């Protein structure tokens, strides 16, 4: 099986930051990102005697089974609404992020690096400040399977979003098996897991906002990841609210905003959806 399997083994879904420091080097790096001091096992033992463990990092349910590249780090029955590429403006992204947060919804936003260069880091920071989840979507939206491993690594690095989950442009490299070896190697080299989708709205074909909303409501089921784009007609407050309200009216819940405020750069291996 693919090396993504190994990821589920290292997950400490309910463990606190102290426990993270006890695990392998990857987790240690993550702890460093979280601002947690890395200490030796004897030091940890001493710490445990003298201080209480810090509050656990909010995470979702314990991951079950092999990592599913189509459902990503969502192990709940909640529907994840995802938007790729680039918003029309930072203001538009702010409005949508705030509207989602106000309804306790966490959208997944996947801006490309060229978008961040053009519109500024606010594209990422404003989303995270509102509890939204920001993942990588490459620097320049190339079909990754046509690149060398080094080329894939470059596409998965800054100025693109540097984090631990990413949506490969077009799903390229993962839509047929065997997966593209170069693309798999590139994702592994940067400690990033691919996250594709289970429902494709085809919003980029020029569909109206109403048509996109209707498609989402008619085709989403428990645990689905819905693919849309920030630069097409479903990414506005009215449409996103209609999706949220409509899904809830159908008895489906939507991925929740990151609890307690700002979403971390490195996402939990199981999202607190």
Q: Which residues sit at the interface with Zn ion, rule CB under 5 A?
A: 84-85, 169
Cis bond before residue 242 (omega within 30° of 0): no
Measured from the CB atom, the residue of 63 and 87 that comes closer to Zn ion is 87
Measured from the CB atom, the residue of 169 and 186 that comes closer to Zn ion is 169
Measured from the CB atom, the residue of 44 and 143 that comes closer to Zn ion is 143
Spatial contact of 57 and 18, defined as CB atoms under 8 Å apart: no
List the alpha helices (DSSP H) in 22-69: 25-33, 41-50
Work out how close the CB of 114 gets to Zn ion at its nearest, in angstroms, rounded to a whole number: 11
Work out how close the CB of 235 gets to Zn ion at its nearest, in angstroms, rounded to a whole number: 13
**CA angle at 206 for the pair 205 and 207, rounded to the nearest 5°:** 100
Work out how close the CB of 167 gets to Zn ion at its nearest, in angstroms, rounded to a whole number: 7
3-class SS at 101?
A: helix
Measured from the CB atom, the residue of 4 and 204 that comes closer to Zn ion is 204
Strands, E, within 115-263: which ranges? 133-134, 165-166, 193-194, 199-200, 225-229
Residues in CB range of 17: below 8 A, 6 or more apart: 31, 34, 36, 53, 54, 56, 57
Q: Which residue is nearest to Zn ion (CB)?
A: 84
């Amino acid at each position: 099986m693919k090396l993504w399997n190994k990821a589920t083994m290292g997950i400490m879904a309910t463990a606190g930051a102290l426990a993270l420091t006890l695990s392998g080097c990857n987790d240690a790096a993550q702890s460093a990102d979280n601002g947690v001091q890395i200490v030796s096992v004897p030091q940890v033992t001493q710490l445990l005697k003298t201080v209480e463990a810090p509050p656990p990092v909010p995470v979702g349910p314990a991951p079950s089974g092999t990592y599913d590249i189509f459902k990503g780090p969502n192990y709940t029955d909640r529907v994840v609404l995802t938007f790729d590429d680039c918003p029309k403006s930072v203001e538009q992204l702010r409005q949508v992020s705030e509207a989602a947060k106000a309804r306790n919804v966490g959208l997944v936003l996947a801006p490309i690096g060229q978008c961040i260069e053009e519109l500024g880091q606010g594209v990422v920071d404003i989303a995270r400040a509102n509890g939204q989840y920001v993942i990588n979507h490459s620097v320049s939206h190339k079909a990754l399977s046509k690149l060398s491993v080094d080329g894939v690594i470059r596409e998965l690095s800054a100025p693109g979003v540097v984090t631990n989950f990413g949506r490969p442009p077009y799903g390229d490299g993962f839509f047929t098996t065997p997966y593209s070896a170069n693309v798999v190697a590139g994702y592994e080299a940067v400690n990033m897991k691919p996250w594709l989708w289970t429902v494709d709205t085809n919003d980029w074909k020029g569909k109206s906002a109403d048509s996109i909303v209707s498609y989402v409501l008619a085709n989403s089921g428990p645990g689905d990841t819905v693919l849309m784009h920030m630069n097409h007609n479903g990414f506005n407050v009215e449409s996103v609210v209609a999706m949220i309200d409509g899904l809830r009216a159908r008895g489906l819940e939507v991925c929740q905003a990151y609890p307690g405020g700002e979403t971390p750069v490195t996402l939990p291996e199981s999202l607190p959806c």
